[in-house]
């Protein structure tokens, strides 16, 4: 089950965190993985690790909010692999702040990566998927697209848009054998979280991480590998009957 042999997958934001976990797992399951990241050194390191394990991983620099870079990267991926069976729109940025503590620049930065990036990458991938007779697009949303999360105004806006785009793509292309779903995680313990905590809560790292963990009723943050496992299911043939869905992976947040 969950075999991706013969498939090509593009993963944005694949240089670390959830994107890295997805890229590594997909490669272990037989996919040829294109790792797209604005940090090409990080993506290259992950690609090298994948190849060292016997997988097929290749890195491209790609700023997902830049239409020219997106076009070039996806053209290169298709030229190299001929096919593009899976796109995981994982690249994203965060912002902490309510409406009054969100500047125009903050909003535009979050929108550019989290919303425009999904739009540009999906639009770049679709022609190949349509030509080959099908494909899968998986977007990384958030529980912030389903419920209110305090002090996440811009982030919640962007993830609500991701949810809506997911459903629109699913409805518009279901007859062309293209599925589109999204994953809605609660807090996931990634290097980004550690960096944010170290920068904004110096000397209180342990206390802050404990508070972030307690937000989930199970008492901890999620692990990137757990999100990757759900991504594998949704991008595999075993999920052929699933489209237009938003899957929470939240440690019980929505149930309480």
Q: Is 203 left (phi over 0), alpha (psi -120 to 50) or beta?
A: left
Query: How many residues comprise the chain?
Result: 256
Q: What is the DSSP string of 154-202?
A: HHHHHHHHHHHHHHHHHHHHGGGTEEEEEEEE--B--HHHHHHHHHHST
What is the DSSP pairing of strand 178-185 with strand 246-249?
parallel
Task: Identify the DSSP state of 51.
Answer: H
What is the DSSP pairing of strand 56-61 with strand 178-185?
unpaired
How far apart (Å, rounded) are the C-alpha atoms in residues 145 and 156? 6
Residue 111 C-alpha from the chain's centroid: 15
CB 166 within 8 A of CB 180: yes
Which entry of 155, 173, 196, 215 is annotated as an active-site residue? 155
Beta bridge partners, 88, equal 11, 138
Is there a catalytic annotation at residue 155?
Answer: yes
Residues classed as catalytic:
155
């Amino acid at each position: 089950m969950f075999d991706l042999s013969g498939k090509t997958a593009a993963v944005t934001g694949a240089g670390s965190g959830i994107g890295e976990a997805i890229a590594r797992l997909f490669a272990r399951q037989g996919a040829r993985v294109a790792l797209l990241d604005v940090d090409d050194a990080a993506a290259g390191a992950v690609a090298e690790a994948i190849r060292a394990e016997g997988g097929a991983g290749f890195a491209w620099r790609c700023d997902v909010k830049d239409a020219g870079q997106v076009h070039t990267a996806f053209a290169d991926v298709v030229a190299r692999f001929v096919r593009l069976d899976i796109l995981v729109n994982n690249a994203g940025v965060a912002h902490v702040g309510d409406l009054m503590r969100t500047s125009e620049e903050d909003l535009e930065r979050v929108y550019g990566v989290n919303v425009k990036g999904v739009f540009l990458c999906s639009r770049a991938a679709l022609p190949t998927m349509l030509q080959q007779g099908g494909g899968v697009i998986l977007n990384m949303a958030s529980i912030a697209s389903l419920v209110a999360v305090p002090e996440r105004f811009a982030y919640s806006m962007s993830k609500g848009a991701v949810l809506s785009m997911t459903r629109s793509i699913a409805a518009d292309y279901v007859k062309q054998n293209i599925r589109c779903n999204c994953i809605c995680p609660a807090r996931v313990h990634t290097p980004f979280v550690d960096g944010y905590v170290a920068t904004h809560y110096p000397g209180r790292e342990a206390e802050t991480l404990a508070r972030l963990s307690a937000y989930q009723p199970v008492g901890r943050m999620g692990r990137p590998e757990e999100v990757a496992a759900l991504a594998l299911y949704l991008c595999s043939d075993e999920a052929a009957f699933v489209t237009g869905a938003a899957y929470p992976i939240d440690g019980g947040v929505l149930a309480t």
